[in-house]
Amino acid sequence: MIKKIVDDVMPQMISDRRHLHKHPELSFEEYQTTEFLCRELEAAGIEDIRRPVKTGVVAVIHGVYPGKTVAIRADIDALPIQEKNELEFCSVNDGVMHACGHDGHAAMLLAAARIFEQHKDELHGSIVCIFQHAEEVPPGGAQELYEAGVMEGVDELYGLHLSSNFPTGTYGVRAGALTSATDRFDIRVIGKGGHSSMPEQSIDPIVTGAEIIVALQSILSRRVAAFEPAVLSVCQVNAGDAYNIIPGEMTLTGSTRTFSEEMRGKMEAMIEEIISGITKSAGASYEFKFERGYSSVINDKELTENVEQQLKKLWGEESILHINPIMPGEDFSALQKNCPACFVEIGTADEEKHTTFPHHNPNYRMDEEGLRYGLSYLLATIFDRLRA
């Protein structure tokens, strides 16, 4: 039955996805996207539509029978990227692009909401459909929605992400920690500026900063166990205004990715130890800020096992990939603080369709056939949980 339902709605789901792709909006600015979603949800006959924050929308489908409450989350924001694809539905908003699949996420949840509304006389419980704004920019829209109370009374939470890392027709499944905790660090190396011909009269923040950059890599190679997944990257370096002037300071910005709270805390301490030692030896000083971003998405074992069984029934054993933890962060974690959750990766990689570009790339393309598998996951899982 689910495959037939999905077949029937595929054209509309693809159309919705293309509309959203053509009209992307940045985090916290998803006003037209929110209006589009609200219109479509109202047209589907859904009566309980909520706008708890400025952008994003929550639609609740109430089954006719009492039961548990499950929530499904899809993110809706785009990225500050100039699209390089040549498609009929390319972004019309200069410098803004859906390069991470969020247009597909929203289209799948919209399709699911319509279907659940049509089948509410079969449902034992309620479904909270969360079209979440601002996943891409910490502190993220999920935290805002959590603070607005959208998760109150929710018993189970489900999410998904389209991924060009896995073949179309496959599901990346993992119980336990799925995504990394993503944190940011900012370093200001304070030296003493001067003339490039007389460096002895200066305290060179560039040389000091370069030593810090190299030394930070020793954290992973010499202070973190080989079996402990972690990443540390310096991604921005800024200093100087002229070729013959030693500047007075240099700034470094980067990110860390960890999976345990213990390692998260250790990473912050180890970074500052290195900065402190190197700047002291150079006669410089420093300022250091470590900002905690999104926590790890933790998949509940029981829910994940049930999802896997539902997917095997639909698509067979070969559709399931038992994946390792993945390094990207996800603010979905902010919604799962008080209830069990399951988050699944949906494959969209197809060499022939040129859909293997990485996410956040101006050439990113989505194999829209992946929408079929994402919607199937949502329908199979939720009908299983809310049918007697």
Cα-based torsion angle of the residue sequence 259, 261, 267, 273 in order, rounded to the nearest 10 degrees: -170
Query: 145 near 132, Cβ under 8 Å?
Result: yes
Backbone angles phi, psi at 344, to 5 degrees: -120, 140
321: tokens are 């990939």
Cα-based torsion angle of the residue sequence 83, 87, 90, 95 in order, rounded to the nearest 10 degrees: 20
Question: Interior CA angle at 96 toward 95 and 101, to 5°?
Answer: 145
123: tokens are 């449902």
Q: How far from chain centre, in Å, is Cα 186?
A: 22
* Bridge partners, 234 (sequence order): 254
How many other C-beta atoms are found inside a 10 Å radius of the C-beta of residue 207? 18
- The one catalytic residue among 30, 75, 77, 308: 77
- The one catalytic residue among 16, 25, 30, 135: 135
275: tokens are 């900065």
368: tokens are 């829209």
Active site (annotated) includes residue 152: no
Active site (annotated) includes residue 135: yes
Q: How far apart are CA 272 and CA 183, in angstroms?
A: 14
Coil, strand or helix at 28 = coil
The DSSP H or E segment spanning 202 is none
The DSSP H or E segment spanning 371 is helix 370-386
Catalytic residue set: 77, 135
